[in-house]
Amino acid sequence: MNNQFVIWGGFSVNNATLNRFFALHFVLPFVLAALALTHLIALHDSAGSNNPLGVSANYDRLPFSPYFIFKDLITIFLFILVLALFVFFMPNILGDSENYVMANPMQTPPAIVPEWYLLPFYAILRSIPNKLLGVIAMFSAILILLTMPFTDLSRSRGIQFRPISKIAFFIFAGNFLILMQLGAKHVESPFIEFGQISTVIYFSYFLILVPLISLIENSTLETNNLEINNLEINNLEVSSLKYTEYSSFLDSVNMYFYNIDLFFNKHPILRYIGYTIVAILSVYMNGLGVEYCDSHELPDPNPVYHHTAAESISIARDEIARNEDGLRSLFEELAYASNPNQASKLEESILEHIASTDSWQKELDELLSAQISEGSNNQN
């Protein structure tokens, strides 16, 4: 009795009850707005927004402002436009005629029809004969959304590349619309049976279909990845073989051009005639294949050049001088650096130049020591 008095404000549903529930409906939108703001803060500080492709967004992030603010504003304006169409042009299309009957606390209406956005959950409530179980099922229809991070076992986020999940989702959406229609019907056969079947389908989607389809798609994805990897390996082997053959062909053509330049250096007309002949033959040989080029010994496309001792000493001295010039300019930039981050980067570059200079100086000392020892050996 005390609980009824606290909720009803009396021994039956009266004006105090209506006022309390009206105040609850007035406060709830502000609570939802606070929760939405908390959600945005948590989304901004932790994971970030998802994307339709379902791939990780940790490598290519966008700032929340202005991109996502503008995106959300477009959605909000479209929602307000549709809402305005219903409010100003079709205010009664989603309502029920029973709403215009004067409320009588002593008489229950023959057919209770809630607002259209509550009809699917009302259909789930009355599909179960037991009142307590019906209320539990109605609230579970909303709370079951919290199980999606645990029941969705797919390796790919989103359903952009998951055709079976798309089909299951559209079946779920159609079943939800059927529940919405059944919630507006009278509690009689066959609407009761259809409501029970739709309720089972609703909960089966989250608890059975989503994990089962995820496992099937994961196995299909692994099979496709294995086939793609094998195909890529085969294509890579074929392409590398073709690249090797084509590189040998180009090397042979370059060698022919070099020989023409060498023999006909003082005869430009003969040189141009040779260029033309080699070009025609190269096009013809490329069309037939590269077997002719493979049958000839070609020079190494990546020859290794061994420097003499004098050349190595000259290269080391040039590198030391270049590093010293770089250090001088870096110290000048560091003296005028105003940003701490810029100064730290300049200090790192200075340390790298000093390490490089020390390395080249060590190599130069070794080369000079080797040259001195070699000269003393020759004198002996």
Q: Is position 362 annotated as part of the catalytic site?
A: no
Q: Is position 115 annotated as part of the catalytic site?
A: yes
- Distance in angstroms (rounded) separating the CA atoms of residues 231 and 275: 41
Q: Is position 49 annotated as part of the catalytic site?
A: yes
How far is C-alpha 136 from the geometric centre of its chain's CA atoms? 37
The identity of residue 19, as a single letter, is N
Q: Is position 237 annotated as part of the catalytic site?
A: no
Of 39, 56, 98, 115, catalytic: 115
Of 12, 39, 44, 373, catalytic: 44
Q: Indicate the DSSP class of residue 50.
A: -
Of 12, 39, 56, 71, catalytic: 71
Q: Is position 332 annotated as part of the catalytic site?
A: no
- Alpha-helical segments (H) within the chain: 2-8, 15-45, 69-89, 119-127, 131-143, 148-151, 163-183, 191-204, 210-263, 268-288, 291-294, 309-335, 340-379
- Distance in angstroms (rounded) separating the CA atoms of residues 176 and 168: 12
Place of tokens 């939802």: 32
Question: Within 13 Å of residue 306, how many CA atoms lie on the same side as its CB?
Answer: 0
Read out DSSP for 86-109?
Answer: HHHH-TTTTS-GGGGSPP-TTS--
Give the total residue count for the chain. Answer: 380
Of 12, 72, 267, 332, catalytic: 72
- What are the residue numbers of the active site? 44, 49, 71-72, 115
